[in-house]
């Protein structure tokens, strides 16, 4: 039986999806004086429970400034590991750079999903102008005038603007008729946490194996988060192994890279694709995070792009508000697509080039490895890589500016 539709809630902005991007956006809008209602299909995380998601995120120092500005830094630092160097290796040659090269103490921080979401939820709970409804699946979305409406089983949310932060399968994007272009790779990414037998020295490392990249990302307590990308059938076979069998395959494929690694948590597998919405806005709608773009996880950039979307959107909304414009009007939101889609397309193109080159035939991989090594020997190139990895290039939203 359908639940009675009793309640109507109203806010300046309705946010579909309370993942890391949706919650960060709600907090940032609250600081600019906008009220929001966030609806998420999943229940809020329970304190002390690690949750079902084994992912850990590299948050580049440029995006970390968003958390700092929202006063989340102290709570996050309790469980975050700083990243002070990055090393990427091809079959021959590679590149490495240090935080020093971008004149920042760290390139970014590794934060486990199981630690990030509770910090965001606690901050949202303390914010009176954010109402979080969860668990609450959004059943449909309609864009009218003057309101857009999110329909939930328990009622509806009305707002001048709906922002889809509801992930790659976004119901908001579909309802708005925004095209979703791209492709799936014949690849899957396995995320797993391991205990290392040697200190990781706060270094994020990536090696390009014949089946795809393996990233070893430092976590607190000499643990590391692995993102092991393999052809889809191989990844499925690895997932079907028990823990000891998985560790044995890891040792066989990359033993010298992760000596003595032992699993210390669950494993999860994710499809790998590249898709970008043709526009990030429409009448009374905007998209942010994975609802607007998904890219190969090899550069650890997906969430960073989503956090930049959130920060940029706050500037665009505030600018429209200051000018006395309707914040859901297409002309108010036009600058958002122009600003963010360009940045996303260049990150997507870089990830695509890496993914193709390093899964190509051996001679191509050899040349690419040598090219990386050559670039890595030039200080200015290393500086540029360091600033790119730190999310500190291009036109930055106000929440991401230093100082």
Ligand X SMILES: Cc1cc2nc3c(=O)[nH]c(=O)nc-3n(C[C@H](O)[C@H](O)[C@H](O)COP(=O)(O)OP(=O)(O)OC[C@H]3O[C@@H](n4cnc5c(N)ncnc54)[C@H](O)[C@@H]3O)c2cc1C
* Interaction site with ligand X (CB under 6 A): 17-22, 39-42, 55, 57-58, 137-138, 165-167, 171, 189, 191, 227, 270, 289-290, 297, 300-304, 306
Paired sense of beta strands 262-277 and 138-143, if any: unpaired
User: Which of 60/93 has CB closer to ligand X?
Assistant: 60
User: Which of 93/343 has CB closer to ligand X?
Assistant: 343
C-beta of 341: minimal distance to ligand X in Å?
16
For residues 114, 272, 269 and 62, what is the CA-based torsion angle, rounded to 10 degrees? Answer: -20
C-beta of 22: minimal distance to ligand X in Å?
6
C-beta of 239: minimal distance to ligand X in Å?
13
C-beta of 18: minimal distance to ligand X in Å?
5
Q: Are 150 and 41 in contact (CB under 8 A)?
A: no
Angle at CA 54, nearest 5°, toward 165 and 290? Answer: 20
Q: Are 49 and 55 in contact (CB under 8 A)?
A: no
User: Which of 93/295 has CB closer to ligand X?
Assistant: 295
C-beta of 379: minimal distance to ligand X in Å?
26
Measured distance CA(346)–CA(77) in Å, rounded: 30
C-beta of 250: minimal distance to ligand X in Å?
15
Measured distance CA(283)–CA(330) in Å, rounded: 5
User: Which of 167/376 has CB closer to ligand X?
Assistant: 167
Measured distance CA(111)–CA(55) in Å, rounded: 9
Our measurement of the distance from residue 325's CA atom to the centroid of its chain's CA atoms, rounded to an integer in Å, reads: 30
User: Which of 93/293 has CB closer to ligand X?
Assistant: 293
User: Which of 93/162 has CB closer to ligand X?
Assistant: 162
User: Which of 93/99 has CB closer to ligand X?
Assistant: 99
Strand partners, 11: 159
Q: Are 323 and 316 in contact (CB under 8 A)?
A: no
User: Which of 233/378 has CB closer to ligand X?
Assistant: 233
C-beta of 366: minimal distance to ligand X in Å?
27
DSSP state of 188: E
C-beta of 370: minimal distance to ligand X in Å?
27
For 363, residues 6+ apart whose C-beta sits below 8 A from its C-beta are none
- Maximum Cα–Cα distance for the chain, whole Å? 66
Measured distance CA(387)–CA(59) in Å, rounded: 13
């Amino acid at each position: 039986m359908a639940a009675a539709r009793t309640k109507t809630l109203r806010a300046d902005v309705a946010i579909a999806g309370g993942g890391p991007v949706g919650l960060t956006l709600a907090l940032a809008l609250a600081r600019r004086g906008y009220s929001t209602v966030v609806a998420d299909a999943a229940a809020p995380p329970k304190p002390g429970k690690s949750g079902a998601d084994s992912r850990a995120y590299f948050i580049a120092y440029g995006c970390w400034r968003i958390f700092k500005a929202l006063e989340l830094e102290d709570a996050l630092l309790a469980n975050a590991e700083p990243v002070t160097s990055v090393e990427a290796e091809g079959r021959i040659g590679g590149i490495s750079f240090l935080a020093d090269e971008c004149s920042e103490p760290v390139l970014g921080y590794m934060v486990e999903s199981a630690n990030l979401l509770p910090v965001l939820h606690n901050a949202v709970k303390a914010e009176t102008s954010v109402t979080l409804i969860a668990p609450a699946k959004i059943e449909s979305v309609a864009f009218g005038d003057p309101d857009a409406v999110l329909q939930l089983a328990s009622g509806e949310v009305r707002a001048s603007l709906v922002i889809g932060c509801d992930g790659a399968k976004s119901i908001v994007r579909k309802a708005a008729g925004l095209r979703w272009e791209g492709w799936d790779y014949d690849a899957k990414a396995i995320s797993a946490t391991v205990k290392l037998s040697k200190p990781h020295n706060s270094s994020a490392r990536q090696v390009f194996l014949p089946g795809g990249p393996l990233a070893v990302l430092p976590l607190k307590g000499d643990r590391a988060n692995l993102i092991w990308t393999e052809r889809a059938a191989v990844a499925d076979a690895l997932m079907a192994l028990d823990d000891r069998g998985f560790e044995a395959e890891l040792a066989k494929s990359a033993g010298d890279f992760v000596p003595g690694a032992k699993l210390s948590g669950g494993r999860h597998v994710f499809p790998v694709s590249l898709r970008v919405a043709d526009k990030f806005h429409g009448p009374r709608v905007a998209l942010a995070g994975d609802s607007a773009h998904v890219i190969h996880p090899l550069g650890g950039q997906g969430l960073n792009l989503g956090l930049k979307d959130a920060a940029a959107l706050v500037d665009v909304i505030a600018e429209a508000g200051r000018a006395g414009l309707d914040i859901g009007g297409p002309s108010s939101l036009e600058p958002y697509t122009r600003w963010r889609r360009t940045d996303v397309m260049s990150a997507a193109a870089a990830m695509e080039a890496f993914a193709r080159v390093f899964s190509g035939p051996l001679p191509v991989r050899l040349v690419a490895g040598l090219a990386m090594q050559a670039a890595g020997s030039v200080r200015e190139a290393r500086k540029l890589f360091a600033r790119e990895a730190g999310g500190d290039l291009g036109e930055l939203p106000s929440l991401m500016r230093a100082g």
